[in-house]
């Protein structure tokens, strides 16, 4: 169950990464479809990473001689990670929900005082959560899987940023061609 909760948090992280890298990068006035596509890209990216992590876990599972110990070790690490990731996710989701209040002041305050700083510390929170989770691990397999998933999740936002920058460049070039005599 804990591993599925981590999977759900990874998908949520991907969705939010997709939205975050798209912010402020389009001159389109009606941005709903633009942001939806960006969120789907993030979700798909997180799903790809999760599939890669599942494949790595399956390979380790097949190779291990003591599956009961591996399962216990993985669940213990996952539980420890959730002590870091769940409060962070609750803060992010809580601040996003506050943005539903129709007040420009509240929306601005949540962006500047909470969502911006929470975005900035995302890599630190991820590293802290994984390292805390695997620090009590007895098996090298658990530690290796944790570090692999950390590297993959940290690379997601980087890859999404590259994609968004290319898309932004195409849009700017297209607008420049339209305005050229």
Q: Please name which of 123, 72, 59, 113 lies closest in space to residue 91, comparing C-alpha atoms.
A: 113
Per-residue pLDDT at 177 = 78
Per-residue pLDDT at 171 = 80
Per-residue pLDDT at 181 = 62
Per-residue pLDDT at 48 = 96
Per-residue pLDDT at 167 = 84
DSSP 64: -
Give helix then strand counts, H and E, for the chain.
7, 0
d(CA 122, CA 50): 18
d(CA 29, CA 11): 28
d(CA 14, CA 44): 8
> Scanning the structure block, which residue is given the tokens 């936002």?
157
Low-confidence residues of the chain, pLDDT below 50?
Answer: none
Per-residue pLDDT at 54 = 95
d(CA 9, CA 113): 23
The answer to whether the predicted template modeling score (pTM) of the entire model surpasses 0.85 is yes
Angle at which helices 32-63 and 2-22 pack, to 10 degrees?
150
């Amino acid at each position: 169950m804990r591993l599925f909760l981590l999977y759900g948090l990874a998908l949520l992280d991907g969705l939010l990464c997709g939205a975050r890298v798209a912010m402020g990068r389009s001159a389109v006035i009606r941005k709903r479809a633009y942001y939806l596509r960006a969120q789907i890209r993030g979700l798909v990216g997180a799903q790809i990473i999760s599939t890669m992590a599942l494949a790595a876990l399956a390979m380790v599972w097949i190779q291990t001689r003591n599956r009961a110990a591996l399962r216990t070790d993985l669940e213990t690490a996952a539980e420890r990670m959730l002590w870091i990731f769940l409060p962070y996710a609750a803060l992010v989701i809580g601040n996003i929900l506050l943005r539903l209040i129709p007040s420009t002041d509240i929306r601005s305050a949540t962006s500047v005082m909470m969502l911006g700083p929470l975005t900035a510390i995302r890599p630190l929170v991820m590293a802290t959560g994984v390292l805390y989770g695997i620090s009590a691990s007895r098996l090298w397999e658990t530690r290796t899987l944790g570090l692999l998933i950390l590297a993959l999740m940290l690379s997601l936002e980087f890859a999404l940023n590259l994609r968004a920058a290319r898309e932004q460049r195409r849009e700017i070039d297209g607008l420049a061609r339209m305005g050229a005599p």
